[in-house]
Every structure is written in structure tokens, then in C-alpha cells.
């Protein structure tokens, strides 16, 4: 008789299974009884604008250790129609889990006002909020991160162009890079729809209304400023279905990447490739590095290119930002910043 078939061995095995099962059950009960960590909660702070002297609300969270030990700072920007009160708990949770300081500025609120939508006031509000947090806590100046989705992606790219020296790395998701083009996308049968009307309210009218209005479109569109990013670490992302099921066509992200690539004398994404991704939602002849599965995204990607310090990813998804993917990439970036 084989040793494993002996009756005594069977009894011993059964007893071992019973004990093991009992221990696993007890462990499971203990884990269930242990309270889950409460989600991080932000604190409201008023920051005085260094441009017009008006108080500007911001929300922030910081680990206790940041009072004495240097911690990375994540500045996360609200979306197009939101303000500082918009819930971006998933991004906050990512920051808290990593021991980062989290900052959520207002930058003049929703984008239907000349003071909002990438204005000089809105841009300065973000810098002012960073300065206050740097005075209040020990911020790691080589790990000041900026991120945002949709309207926040627009503002993240704009800040990257205007103030590349203030950030270590920027992760922008499904952002608007050209306000005039986006306005056209949201004009149906000659009639401006909601987003188009919001752009008009911010810029003073439709493109072509006056040289002053055109200057506002240019000043507030990242496409005209991203050539200034230099060695800033930049991560641009869009879901391939955006523009079909979402509000921002992926061309905005691809065109933004091309501006950075061209400025750095790097290879750009071809017009044929942009059209294929926009219309067919896939490349006819993808490169080996264009396709794969990214665990941080938990998604397949359909294009991934690098141009110096800039990366672009078109992933299987829609109009969305992916907090884990964004923060995973940011966590690997380090670069000195200036005050």
C-alpha cells in the first residue's frame, strides 16, 4: 500500500485540512472585524491671490510626517465645469496612500468666466497655492507633481507650457489643447452648444470676433505654449473612444504631444496615424511598443510613443483619468523645481 493511501495518513491529512481551514476562518474573521482605514479628508484654506488680492479657496491634505519630513506634493486640478469642491477622492486616496501632500486649488472655478479657463489669474492661483503649502509643510522640491483630467488636463498642459520650472512632472488626461478647435467640435449646425458657449464666455466671444478675442484663445490654449516645456517630464493620456463617446477628441492629446516632440526635434505622430486612431480607433501598422497591457492602467494601450522627456499613451477607454496609472508614473519621476 502506498504511504499516502494508509488510513492513518488520511486521518492526519483531514485533521490538517480542518485545522488549516479553521485558522483561515479565524484570520478572515479577524480581518473582517478590523476597521478599514477611513478615507482621507481635506482641509479648506484661503489663499490670497498675489495678483488681485482676492482670497481663493483650496483644499489640501497632508500626512503628519510632512511637518518635519520632506514629502512629495500632488497638485490635482478640477475638471472643466467643476471647482475646488469637486470630489476627486480617488486621486486624493492615491496621494494619501503614498504619503504625498495633496492640493486641490480652485483656480477661479468653472470655465465660463474670463477670470477662469487658463487666465493669468487662474494660473497664478495655482502657483500661490503651491507657495503656501511649501511654507506650511516640508515639501520635496524635486517631487512636485501636477495632474488633471479633462478641463484639469487642459490646465495641466497650460501650466506645463507657462511654468515648466515649477513642476517636477505633469500627468495630463483627456485634456483640451486647442480651445478654438474644441469650440468647433461643440458647434452643431452653426449653433454653439454648452461647452462652446462656455469657451465664448471665457474668451470674450467666438474666434475671429476681434484680434483681442483671438489673442485670448491663443493665450489659453496649451497648443501654443507646450513648445516651452524643455526637460519637464510630461505624460499625456487619452482614451481612444473619447470624442466618440466623450467630449474631447483624442487629437487634442496627440497634437499636444507633437508640439513637444517637434520642439525637441524628436519624431512626431503622423497625420495618417492620428486619422487612423481617430476614425478606426486603432493603427493599421502599429510599432512593437505601440500595443500592450499596462498593469497600472489595467487597460490595453493602442499607441505609446516617447519624445525625450514626454510620453503619450492612447489607451482602451473613454473620457477619463486613471488615478493609479497617473500616480504610478509620477512616483517614478524626480526633477528639481524653482520657486
Domain count, the chain: 1
- What is the band of 2 on the pLDDT scale with cuts at 50, 70, 90? very low
Cα–Cα distance, 115 to 121 (Å, whole number): 6
Cα–Cα distance, 178 to 237 (Å, whole number): 16
In a domain, 63, yes or no: yes
In a domain, 253, yes or no: yes
Give alpha helix (H) positions in the chain: 7-33, 89-98, 120-136, 151-162, 179-185, 194-203, 211-220, 251-263, 271-275, 323-331
Q: What is the CATH number of the domain that holds 130?
A: 3.40.50.1820
In a domain, 25, yes or no: no
Q: Indicate if the pLDDT at residue 155 is higher than 80.
A: yes
In a domain, 196, yes or no: no
- What is the band of 9 on the pLDDT scale with cuts at 50, 70, 90? very low
- What is the band of 39 on the pLDDT scale with cuts at 50, 70, 90? confident
Percentage above 90 pLDDT, the chain: 88
Residues 6+ apart with CB under 8 A from 195: 80, 182, 183, 186, 247
Percentage above 70 pLDDT, the chain: 89
- Give the pLDDT score at 37: 59
Q: Indicate if the pLDDT at residue 130 is higher than 50.
A: yes
In a domain, 65, yes or no: yes
In a domain, 28, yes or no: no
In a domain, 271, yes or no: yes
> Domain range spanning residue 281?
43-178+221-331
In a domain, 124, yes or no: yes
How confident is the model over 208-224, as pLDDT tens digits?
999 999 999 999 999 99
User: Judging by beta carbons within 10 Å of its beta carbon (0-12, 13-18, 19+), is residue 280 exposed, middle or buried?
Assistant: exposed
- In the predicted model, what is the mean pLDDT of residues 279-286? 98
Answer whether 91's CB lies under 8 Å from 102's CB.
Answer: yes
- Give the pLDDT score at 10: 34
- In the predicted model, what is the mean pLDDT of residues 44-70? 98
Amino acid at each position: 500500500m502506498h504511504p499516502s493511501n494508509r488510513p492513518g495518513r488520511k486521518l492526519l491529512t483531514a485533521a490538517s485540512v480542518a485545522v488549516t481551514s479553521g485558522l483561515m476562518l479565524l484570520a478572515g474573521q479577524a480581518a473582517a472585524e478590523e476597521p478599514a482605514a477611513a478615507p482621507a479628508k481635506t482641509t479648506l484654506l484661503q489663499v490670497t491671490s498675489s495678483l488681485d488680492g482676492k482670497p481663493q479657496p483650496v483644499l489640501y491634505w497632508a500626512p503628519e510626517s510632512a511637518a518635519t519630513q520632506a514629502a512629495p506634493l500632488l497638485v490635482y486640478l478640477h475638471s472643466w465645469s467643476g471647482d475646488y469642491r469637486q470630489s476627486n477622492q480617488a486621486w486624493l486616496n492615491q496621494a494619501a496612500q503614498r504619503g504625498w501632500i495633496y492640493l486641490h486649488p480652485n483656480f477661479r472655478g468653472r470655465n465660463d468666466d474670463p477670470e477662469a479657463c487658463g487666465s493669468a489669474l487662474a494660473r497664478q492661483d495655482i502657483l500661490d497655492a503651491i507657495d503656501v503649502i511649501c511654507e506650511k509643510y516640508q515639501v520635496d522640491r524635486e517631487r512636485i507633481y501636477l495632474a488633471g483630467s479633462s478641463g484639469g488636463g487642459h490646465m495641466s498642459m497650460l501650466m506645463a507650457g507657462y511654468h515648466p520650472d515649477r513642476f517636477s512632472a505633469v500627468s495630463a488626461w483627456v485634456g483640451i489643447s486647442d480651445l478654438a478647435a474644441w469650440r468647433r467640435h461643440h458647434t452643431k449646425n452653426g449653433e454653439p452648444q454648452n461647452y462652446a458657449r462656455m469657451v465664448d464666455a471665457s474668451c470674450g466671444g467666438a474666434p475671429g470676433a476681434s484680434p483681442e478675442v483671438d489673442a485670448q484663445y491663443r493665450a489659453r490654449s496649451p497648443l501654443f505654449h507646450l513648445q516651452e516645456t524643455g526637460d519637464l517630464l510630461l505624460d499625456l493620456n487619452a482614451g481612444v473612444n473619447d470624442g466618440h463617446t466623450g467630449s474631447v477628441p483624442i487629437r487634442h492629446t496627440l497634437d499636444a504631444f507633437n508640439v513637444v516632440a517637434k520642439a525637441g526635434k524628436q519624431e512626431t505622430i503622423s497625420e495618417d496615424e492620428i486619422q487612423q486612431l481617430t476614425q478606426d480607433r486603432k493603427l493599421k501598422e502599429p510599432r512593437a511598443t505601440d500595443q500592450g497591457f499596462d498593469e497600472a492602467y489595467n487597460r490595453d494601450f493602442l499607441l505609446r510613443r516617447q519624445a525625450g522627456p514626454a510620453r503619450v499613451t492612447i489607451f482602451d477607454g473613454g473620457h477619463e483619468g486613471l488615478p493609479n496609472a497617473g500616480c504610478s508614473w509620477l512616483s517614478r519621476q524626480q526633477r528639481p523645481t524653482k520657486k
